[in-house]
Amino acid sequence: MTTTTVVPRRHPKGAGLAPLAGYLARRLLSAAVVVAIVSMLVFAFVHAAPGGPERSIGGRFATAEQLVAIREQYRLNDPLWTQYGQFVSSALGLDFGTSYSMREPVTDSISRAASTTVPLVLFGWLAALLIGTALGVVSARHAGGAFDRGVLGFTVVGASAPIFATAILLSYVFGVALGWLPTLGEGDGGMDRIRHLVLPGVTLAIAAMAAITKVTKVRVGQVLEADHITFATARGLPPRGVLVSEVLRNSGVQLVTQAGAVLVAMLSAVILVEEVFDLDGLGSLLIQAITARDIPLIQAITLFTCIFIVAVNLVVDLVCMAIDPRLRIGRGGVTR
Amino acid sequence: MSTSLTLTGWRTRRPRRRPGIPVGVLIAAVLLLVPIVCVLFPSLGPGNATRIVASDALLTPSAEHWLGTDSLGRDVFARMVHGASSALLGPLLLASVTVAISTVLALIAGYYRGWADGVISRFVDVLYSVPPLVVAVVLVGVLGGGFWLGVAVLTVFNLPHNVRVLRAAVEEQAQLPYIEAAKTLGTKSIRILWRHLVPVISPLIVASFFLRFTYGIVDLSALSFLGLGVPPGSTDWGRMLAENRVTMLQNFWATAAPGLALIVMAVSANIVGDWLYNRYEAAGRAR
């Protein structure tokens, strides 16, 4: 018996390239516009604070002379457009001024906090991606079975329970009642730090995992009903081969889109998780800045968050185009 | 080699469809009624929600204090009952306004199409990937507007998802023969929308109401938990969670009760919403 491998014909090389470049240019432009608009709103924060900017810098007990001096020092008497230009040009050089409450350059506070938040989010996200996709695939294959029903229960609870409530309950069960893991602070480096980040990371992962499992299950379920899966199985492809080359490839666009959405959604979850577990990350830094009316710090965190969201969306769209050639030739709209 | 032709690879088993309302959904619906009972009978139970009795601080559950007391000696059970209205009101308002506005926008965009569709879809695309809670935290934090500003901000940022789901349904329905038939008969488009199209997608509208209600509970209680929602001293489940968790070792139930109540409320609303949504989807496929 001779076997011939059927190699799927690739899309002719180069055919999709010109529209791709145009699409990329359009996307970058619109990303820049979004960031510019947000930067204006963020700039306006200075003047939106109750009692005006000089009040928020000087505090409640500043005298009239002090307020005048502050207006002078922070150039608050200049026209708004000059102030905005000043803000943008220093922001481009990553200079957001000095934090009122931390008494240090804003970028220093942010990079220190990021060293806690970034590993935390990355761990939660990757764990959620791996386990969530696996759970979704298995439950789609055994749809209606006991495993599927169990997973369904988990996704409903994981996706809708308020994350700070689950965080507190988890920290009580594993930190206090069982005493397995520390629940407060970020530890003193090395293994201790990892031990401190386990519970917050798992909490983050559970919520994200639920969302990923749900989408994976729905999409993989759809793909499994398609004729080409029956055909691939009939050709005698091993189930694992079918899974990778047919099922996952055809679900890729939806999975990648959801992975991006989950990463963005983790931004709000991480604020709450850091508050519960008393971690000095970006989320608690933001809350601290808000409590202290520390406008430069709020501005910088908001702007970085916005740039992060825009970048994630851009990367998601590009990865989707790499996965699905059909998206490259059209006008570039990714249908979700 | 097996000679049978059954394909045992990656075929799905179709889930059996059960008639009637599943037990889980019924339980969820009943649980959603509990806070309403609390709102109707605010003086349930023996305790007092606001009276501070310093000598009674941090008692564990007893016949006198069903869930014990918090660090100021206030009765936790009474505070739970009292806090139900705050837990319901914000999410109810958020969900109703979101659903009302997004239904109108979806009808305009999905049925009339044209430039209005372009404008609405751009608005949806731009705001779609923004996490509502982060915006609410920053805006409420900077402007200091409190609870109602939070509700307003969350409503605006809940719109995009809802508009997208409803718009897709409207567009799908608008191409079906019954709409075309109504058009051919010369029915006014307003009448087509309200008498023909809206009734068909109404299960989806109700489902989206429950899903928005879920997000409302989660995000509004998160704002209160962070100290940005209801003012200090209010009886609110999110706030209770934040205040009582430092004394969790003394009275576990002062923290667990609001936490579990929030989880149960959010999960129940989500179960009801999901069930309605799946039923609408299944009905669409059967047609």
* A162–B126 CB contact, under 8 Å: no
Model ipTM value: 0.83
- Judge: A49–B270 Cβ closer than 8 Å, yes or no: no
Neighboring chain B residues of A247 at a CB cutoff of 8 Å: 10
More confident: B61 or A300: A300
Q: Name the band, by pLDDT with cuts 50, 70 and 90, for residue A8.
A: low
Give the CATH number, domain containing residue A166.
1.10.3720.10
- The verdict on a CB contact (< 8 Å) between A140 and B274 is no
User: What percentage of chain A carries pLDDT values higher than 70?
Assistant: 89
Is residue A34 assigned to a domain?
A: yes
Encode pLDDT of B145-192 as tens digits.
778 999 999 999 999 999 999 999 999 998 899 988 998 998 888 899
Task: Specify if A101 maps to a domain.
Answer: yes
What is the least distance, in Å, from the CA of A89 to any CA of chain B? 23
Say if residue B96's pLDDT is above 90.
yes
The mean pLDDT value of chain A amounts to 83
Residues of A in contact with B252 (CB under 8 A): 172
Question: What is the least distance, in Å, from the CA of B126 to any CA of chain A?
Answer: 8
The single-letter code of the amino acid at A195 is R
Confidence (pTM): 0.85
Domain count, chain A: 1
Instruction: Establish if A203 belongs to a structural domain.
Output: yes
Taking an 8 Å cut-off on Cβ atoms, the answer to whether A268 and B248 are in contact is no
Domain-embedded: residue A234: yes
Give how far A50 is from chain B: nearest CA, Å: 6
Residues of chain A numbered 65-94 and touching chain B (CB < 8 Å):
none
Cβ <8 Å between A169 and B256: yes
Vertex A316: Cα angle to A242 and A224 (nearest 5): 25
- A311 touches B at CB < 8 Å: no
| List of domains in chain B | 23-45+61-286 (1.10.3720.10)
The 10s digit of each residue's pLDDT in A43-59 is 888 777 666 677 767 76
Higher pLDDT, A21 or B256: B256
Residue A23 lies in a domain: yes
Shortest distance, CA A170 to any CA of chain B (angstroms): 11
* pLDDT-based confidence at residue B6 (cuts at 50, 70, 90): very low
pLDDT score, position B9: 54
Name the residue range of residue A44's domain.
19-48+94-328
Which chain B residues contact residue A229 at CB under 8 A?
Answer: 9-11
**Is A96's pLDDT higher than 60?**
yes
> What digits encode the pLDDT tens for the residues A188-246?
777 777 888 889 999 999 989 999 998 898 888 888 888 888 888 888 888 777 887 78
CA distance B138 to chain A (A): 8
Six token digits for residue B45: 């139970």
Question: Mutation test of the interface with chain B: which of A163, A168, A206, A219, choosing the one with the most B Cβ atoms within 10 A?
Answer: A168
Residue A59 lies in a domain: no
